[in-house]
Every structure is written in structure tokens, then in C-alpha cells.
């Protein structure tokens, strides 16, 4: 109590995008109190040669459930992240009625690769409303600061029950949803998030609840947030609200939108989308497409082939038994339907050149080989080759492949990172835990795209990771190194910062496995509200005991 910590002699990059400078940073309690030269204090941390920056704000996570059994929010805490926004893509865990928990958890399994038994055992389920959910998170505590959207899918499920999938909402049901959104905002929600993405299908293979909403429902929910005078709208795009129309909708609603996600595709769609964004901003629309510096690469088994489920013919199998799936895989007519499905311009064909065998019980000698090369050698279509190999396994889950769904073009990624009105997002931390691990987005950006590729300056990269994120959400007194601001601070070595390896572990409730990246290099210190939570890659036990993270909500516009 009362101690004054000095981070001394580092290169201060303050989150504004302005020039860096050599300075000392003084922390007292949970605040930055002074930035200058020659400062003194009770504890001095030598930051010579290191960058001192605001803690990073990850605006696209799915830590809504994991926060309860892993309050450290690993692995984000290792990568300089000090504030997370959960509830993305319309998948919060409240409001929820007890009778609908099974439906929600099975939906999360199909959409976000969350094990239902892990959710049943790991979440306390001591809440029903969204305010009660926020209260529960606060009671249990978090190592990092925590903010959350209220999700469109559970909101619809709460009001409409089983009919949330299959029909439009009535005016009375929309009125109920609007009232719930306003209550959530009053309690500290950061906005409404929704998804219309083709990849997002429920446990029975049908579109998730939010994908059944028509335009008036969508507008009313967004306007309910705006009417509170604060908040942001998070959109995962699709047919209900196509990307170009987001700009018109934003100007009707009047608060910032953030869009998931603007990624590179072989057909060059990202180039057109970037131009749409520029023109939207020219006419005053505030839509922030999220971009990522990492390829969107999935590791998946052929029992749950997430990236192939974009094709509606594959999607039909999501609720089927293993036997029915195997029968479909063996059926030449079914395979032809799949190929026809990919001729629809809405469902881009897989990037077969990126498909690589990671695991195979029947053919371990093929591990590391590319599906396309094997198919060419056998004079087969890659789909036929992949399905033939799957049928040789005892179970479809016995073969695992990895592939790039999007963002495989480094030049395209560089272009998107440099766009003025894009923001960093889509780490998806907490979701797809057995399929990918993009929580190291921040250290990848700093090591690969700042130091190695020189695509961004350090000042610009830090702004996109901190100050800009705080501005979009209007998180007061966060995102910058300024006296009076919360002492969310990172200290890292710009010469060695790197995301480190990804490894598979089994440490979730119910013995579920996941991918994690908890061994970055160059991250020396992470402070959350003035408490050092990490030193040189090791979490601080006293911080784990005290859990200094705070609940964060947007301030009024």
C-alpha cells in the first residue's frame, strides 16, 4: 500500500500514435501518476532497451465461459493483453433460462468448438439475466479487465425459446428483446453483438438464432444500444446485413460498428471491401472492420470439419450420427452435391493447396503431406482424396487436417493493416480452442509485422492495439500512457518479442483439450491496474490470488 513503482528509462510509446521518447513511468495504486525523466520511487524496474506501452485491448474474444475456471484468461495474459471484450459474434452466455442451457452449450460446440461438458462443469450457471452474468463474473474475479457484449443468439433463445430458430420475431418479441438490451446496457454491457455468418450453424445444422432475424429486429436492437447513449455494435457479417449495408445502418443508428472480419481471399474480395470502407468513412459512417495479422488457419477432424461446413451440404451432417456421416462421405451423389455447392459464389471453395494432414491413425506416413499433392498423384479431386482417406479410418475423428480458410496472402494482410480505418481483431481467444490459437495476435504483430516485415511503425502498431481500441469503445482512462489513467502497462523487448510456440494441452474442465501459446519471448512485464501480473513469462502468484482485473463498460458518447 502506498508504494511507488518506477518503470525507468524505457522507450515510451503512449498509444496516441505520436513519436516515442525515452522516459520514466511512475505508478501509484492502480494509476499512472507521472511520466518524465529522473523519477524516483520505492521500486525501480530498469526498462532500458525495452518498449513501455499501454496494455493491449483485445476486442474480439470468447472468454465468456473460460473466465470462470481460468481467471488468468490464458494465454492472452502472456501476450500483453490487459483488457478483453467477450460476447463476440452474438454468443454471450446470458440471458439464459435453465431449460435452454443444453441448447446453448451444444450450439457453442458447433460454432465455437467449446466442449459442452466443459461448459456444464466449468460455468457456475448462477445467473439468468445479463446483469446477473456480469455480477457473477465480477464476484469470481479476473486477472485481466473484462467487458462483454450481450449476444443476439441467447437473447433470441431467451425470448422465443425453440422458435428462435426457424422464424422471424413478432413485434412483441422484439419489444421484449429491446427491453432486455437496455437493462444489459444499464448494467455495463458494451453493446450488442450478432452474427449472420454462413459458418455459424446450430447443433442441428440449421442457421443459429441470430441468422433468422429480419431487418427491423436488427435495427431495433442496435437502436436500443444507441438510445442508452453509449456502446458499440459488433457484427459478424452475412446475408442479413451485407458488409456494404453496414455503413447505411451505422448512420441510421449513430454509434460505432465493428465488423468481423476483413480478411484476404484468393478472389481479391478484400480489395473491394477495403474500398467500400474508405468510401463509407468519406461519407461519415463509423464502421471499423477488424483485421488480423495471422492466417485464419484451422486444425480440424473430419468428424467436425468446421471450414467445410460453410458448404450447406456439409452443414446438413452436423446433427447426424457417425454412421450417417460415413455413409454420406462414401456416397458419390453426395460428393457431387458438395461440389455443386461450391459453385455458388457465396460459398468459396476450400483453398486445397493449404490442406495438410496433421494426424492419421490409418496412414501415419502421410502426416505432414498436402492433400492437393496427394490428390494429383492419384488423379483425384482433393475432396475425393480426403474423404477416401477418412473412410479408411475407424472413426472420422481419427484424421485431422489443418487448412487456411482466409488471410493467407501476406501482401493483402499488409495492405489491410495499413488501412486508416481498420482495427485489430479476430483473435477469437477462448473459442475454437482445439482448432486454432490466435490469442498471440499482439506479439505476432509486434515481432513479425513491425520488426521483421516493417509493415507498421512501432507507434502505429501500439496505437492499433491500445489507444484506438479504447477510443472505439470509449473506455475512459484506458488505452494510453497518461497521468491519471489506469496503470495497464506492458514492458517488452522489441528485438526479441515473438508469439512463441503453439502446443496442445488438456487442462480444461471435464478433461477437454485445447491449443495454447503460453511461452512468448520478449514480454518482460504486464501490469493490470497497477499490479504486476506477469514477469518474464511467469504469472505472479500474488496477482493470481488478488485478481486485479476490473469490469469495464463504455462511457457515454
pTM to 2 decimal places? 0.96
Which sequence spans correspond to the domains of the chain? Answer: 53-295+407-545, 298-405
Tens of pLDDT along the chain (557 residues) come to 469 999 999 999 999 999 999 999 999 999 999 999 999 999 999 999 999 999 999 999 999 999 999 999 999 999 999 999 999 999 999 999 999 999 999 999 999 999 999 999 999 999 999 999 999 999 999 999 999 999 999 999 999 999 999 999 999 999 999 999 999 999 999 999 999 998 899 988 899 999 999 999 999 999 999 999 999 999 999 999 999 999 999 999 999 999 999 999 999 999 999 999 999 999 999 999 999 999 999 999 999 999 999 898 998 999 899 999 999 999 999 999 999 989 876 667 899 999 999 999 999 999 999 999 999 999 999 999 999 999 999 999 999 999 999 999 999 999 999 999 999 999 999 999 999 999 999 999 999 999 999 999 999 999 999 999 999 999 999 999 999 999 999 999 999 999 999 999 999 999 999 999 999 999 999 999 999 999 999 999 999 999 999 999 999 99
Q: What architecture (CATH level 2) is domain 53-295+407-545?
A: Alpha-Beta Barrel (3.20)
**Residue 72 dihedral angles phi and psi, to the nearest 5°:** -75, -15
DSSP state of 302: S
In 3D, which of 135, 131, 129, 127 has the Cα closest to residue 187? 131
Report residue 452 as a C-alpha cell: 521483421
Per-residue H/E/C for 250-305: HHHHCCCEEEECCCCCCCCHHHHHHHHHHHHHHCCCCEEEEECCCCEEEEEECCCC
Choose among 141, 53, 103, 190: nearest CA to 479. 53
DSSP state of 451: I
Amino acid at each position: 500500500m502506498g508504494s511507488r513503482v518506477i518503470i525507468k528509462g524505457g522507450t515510451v510509446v503512449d498509444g496516441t500514435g505520436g513519436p516515442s521518447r525515452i522516459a520514466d513511468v511512475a505508478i501509484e495504486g492502480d494509476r499512472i501518476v507521472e511520466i518524465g525523466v529522473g523519477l524516483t520511487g520505492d521500486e525501480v524496474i530498469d526498462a532500458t532497451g525495452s518498449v513501455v506501452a499501454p496494455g493491449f485491448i483485445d476486442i474480439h474474444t470468447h472468454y465468456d465461459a473460460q473466465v470462470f475456471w481460468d481467471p488468468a484468461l490464458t494465454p492472452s495474459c502472456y501476450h500483453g493483453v490487459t483488457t478483453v471484450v467477450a460476447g463476440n459474434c452474438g454468443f454471450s452466455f446470458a440471458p439464459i433460462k435453465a431449460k435452454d442451457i443444453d441448447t446453448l452449450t451444444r450450439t457453442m460446440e458447433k460454432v465455437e468448438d467449446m466442449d459442452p461438458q466443459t461448459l456444464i462443469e466449468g460455468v457456475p450457471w448462477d445467473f439468468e439475466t445479463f446483469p446477473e452474468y456480469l455480477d457473477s463474473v465480477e464476484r469470481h474475479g479476473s486477472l485481466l479487465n473484462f467487458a462483454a457484449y450481450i449476444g443476439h443468439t441467447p437473447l433470441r433463445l431467451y425470448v422465443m425459446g425453440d422458435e428462435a430458430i426457424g422464424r422471424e420475431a413478432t413485434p412483441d418479441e422484439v419489444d421484449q428483446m429491446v427491453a432486455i438490451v437496455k437493462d444489459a446496457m444499464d448494467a455495463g454491457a458494451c453493446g450488442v453483438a450478432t452474427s449472420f455468418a454462413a459458418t455459424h450453424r446450430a447443433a442441428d445444422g440449421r442457421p443459429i438464432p441470430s441468422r433468422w432475424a429480419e431487418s427491423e429486429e436488427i435495427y431495433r436492437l442496435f437502436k436500443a444500444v444507441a438510445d442508452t447513449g453509449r456502446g458499440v455494435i459488433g457484427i459478424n457479417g452475412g446475408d442479413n446485413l451485407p458488409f456494404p449495408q453496414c455503413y447505411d445502418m451505422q448512420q441510421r443508428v449513430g454509434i460505432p460498428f465493428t465488423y468481423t472480419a476483413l480478411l484476404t481471399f484468393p478472389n481479391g474480395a478484400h480489395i473491394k471491401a477495403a474500398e467500400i470502407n474508405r468510401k463509407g468513412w468519406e461519407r461519415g459512417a463509423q464502421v471499423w472492420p477488424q483485421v488480423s495479422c495471422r492466417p485464419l488457419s484451422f486444425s480440424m477432424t473430419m468428424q467436425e470439419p468446421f471450414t467445410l461446413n460453410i458448404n450447406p451440404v456439409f452443414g446438413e451432417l452436423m446433427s447426424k450420427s457417425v454412421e450417417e456421416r460415413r455413409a454420406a462421405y462414401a456416397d458419390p451423389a453426395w460428393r457431387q452435391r458438395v461440389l455443386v455447392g461450391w459453385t455458388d459464389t457465396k460459398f468459396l471453395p476450400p483453398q486445397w493447396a493449404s490442406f495438410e494432414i496433421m494426424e492419421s491413425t490409418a496412414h501415419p506416413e502421410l502426416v505432414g503431406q498436402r492433400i492437393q499433392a496427394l490428390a494429383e498423384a492419384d488423379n483425384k479431386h482433393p475432396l475425393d482424396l480426403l474423404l477416401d482417406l477418412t473412410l479408411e479410418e475407424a472413426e472420422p475423428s481419427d484424421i485431422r487436417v489443418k487448412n487456411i480458410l482466409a488471410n493467407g496472402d501476406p501482401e493483402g494482410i499488409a495492405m489491410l493493416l495499413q488501412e486508416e480505418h481498420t482495427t485489430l481483431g479476430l483473435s477469437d481467444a477462448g473459442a475454437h480452442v482445439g482448432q486454432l490459437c490466435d490469442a498471440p495476435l499482439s506479439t505476432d504483430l509486434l515481432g513479425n509485422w513491425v520488426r521483421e516485415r516493417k509493415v507498421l511503425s512501432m507507434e502505429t502498431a501500439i496505437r492499433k492495439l491500445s489507444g484506438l481500441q479504447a477510443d472505439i469503445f470509449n473506455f475512459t482512462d484506458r488505452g494510453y500512457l497518461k497521468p491519471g489513467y489506469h496503470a495497464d502497462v506492458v514492458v517488452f523487448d522489441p528485438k526479441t518479442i515473438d508469439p512463441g510456440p503453439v502446443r496442445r494441452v488438456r487442462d480444461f474442465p471435464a478433461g477437454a483439450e485445447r491449443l495454447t501459446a503460453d511461452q512468448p519471448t520478449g514480454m518482460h512485464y504486464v501490469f493490470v491496474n497497477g499490479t504486476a501480473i506477469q514477469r518474464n513469462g511467469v504469472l505472479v502468484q500474488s496477482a493470481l490470488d488478488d485478481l486485479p482485473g476490473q469490469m469495464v463498460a463504455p462511457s457515454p458518447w
